[in-house]
Structure 1
Amino acid sequence: MTQSPESPLPPPKERRRLRESRSLTQVQVAERIGVSRATVRAWETGRTTPKAERREAYAQLLASLAADAADAVEDTAPQPVIPAPAAPSLTPAQAFDALYEFCAPALVRQTYLLTGRRELARESVERAFQLAWQQWPQVAQDRDPAGWVRATAYEYALSPWHSFRPRYRHPEPPPADAGDRTLLHALLKLPPSYRRTLLLYDGVGLNLPETAAETEASTPAAANRLTHARAALAEHLPELSDPVALHRRLAELASTERLRAPQPTTVRTVGEQRTRFWTRAAIAFTVAIIGATTLTLRTAPTQYEAPLAPAQAVRGVPPKAALGPLSGAELKLQAKLRSAAARGPERVLPLPR
Structure 2
Amino acid sequence: MVVEPDPDLTGETHPGTSALTPAQAFDALYAFCAPALVRQTYLLTGRRELARESVERAFQLAWERWPEVARDRDPAGWVRAAAYEWALSPWHRFRPRYRHPEPPPSDAADRALMDALLALPAPHRRTLVLYDGVGLDLPETAAETEASTPATANRLLRARETVAERLPELSDPGTLHERLAVLASAERLRAAQPPAVRSGSERRARFWTRAAIAFTVALIGTTALTLRTAPTHYEPPVPPGETVQGVPPHVAPGPLSDKERKLRSKLRKELLPGPERLAPQSR
> Residue 161 of structure 1 corresponds to which residue in structure 2?
91
* Closer, same or farther: CA 101–307 of 1 in aligned 2, 3 Å: same
Structure 2 CA distance for aligned equivalents of residues 265 and 291 of structure 1: 39
Q: Identity rate of aligned residues, in percent?
A: 76
Give 1:146's match in structure 2, choosing from 67, 76, 81: 76
RMSD after superposition: 2.0
State the shift of 1:304 in Å.
3.0
**Size of the alignment, in residue pairs?**
232
Structure 2 CA distance for aligned equivalents of residues 275 and 114 of structure 1: 28
> Residue 245 of structure 1 corresponds to which residue in structure 2?
175
Offset from partner CA, 1:289-312 (integer Å, 9 cap, x none): 011101110121212334658989
Offset from partner CA, 1:164-222 (integer Å, 9 cap, x none): 21211221111111111111011011011110110001100111111111111122111
Residue 203 (str. 1) matches residue 133 (str. 2): yes
> Residue 229 of structure 2 corresponds to which residue in structure 1?
299
Structure 2 CA distance for aligned equivalents of residues 309 and 206 of structure 1: 74
**Structure 1 residue runs without a partner (length 5+):** 1-86, 320-353
Instruction: Give the letter aligned to residue 61 of structure 2.
Output: L
Give 1:284's match in structure 2, choosing from 198, 211, 214: 214
Structure 1 CA distance for aligned equivalents of residues 226 and 150 of structure 2: 58
> Residue 274 of structure 2 corresponds to which residue in structure 1?
none
> Residue 34 of structure 2 corresponds to which residue in structure 1?
104
Residue 258 (str. 1) matches residue 176 (str. 2): no
Which contiguous aligned blocks of 4+ residues in structure 1 show a shift greater than 2 angstroms? 304-312, 314-319
Q: What SS class does the counterpart of residue 125 from structure 2 fall into?
A: helix
Larger Rg: 1
* Closer, same or farther: CA 186–304 of 1 in aligned 2, 3 Å: same
**Structure 2 residue runs without a partner (length 5+):** 1-16, 249-283
Offset from partner CA, 1:42-72 (integer Å, 9 cap, x none): xxxxxxxxxxxxxxxxxxxxxxxxxxxxxxx
Structure 2 CA distance for aligned equivalents of residues 211 and 95 of structure 1: 26
Structure 2 CA distance for aligned equivalents of residues 317 and 116 of structure 1: 86
Structure 1 CA distance for aligned equivalents of residues 153 and 42 of structure 2: 23
TM-score (norm 1): 0.62
User: How does 1:72-111 map onto structure 2 within 5 Å?
Assistant: 89-111=19-41
Residue 216 (str. 1) matches residue 146 (str. 2): yes
Offset from partner CA, 1:131-183 (integer Å, 9 cap, x none): 11111111111121111100111111111111121211221111111111111
Instruction: Give the letter aligned to residue 98 of structure 1.
Output: A
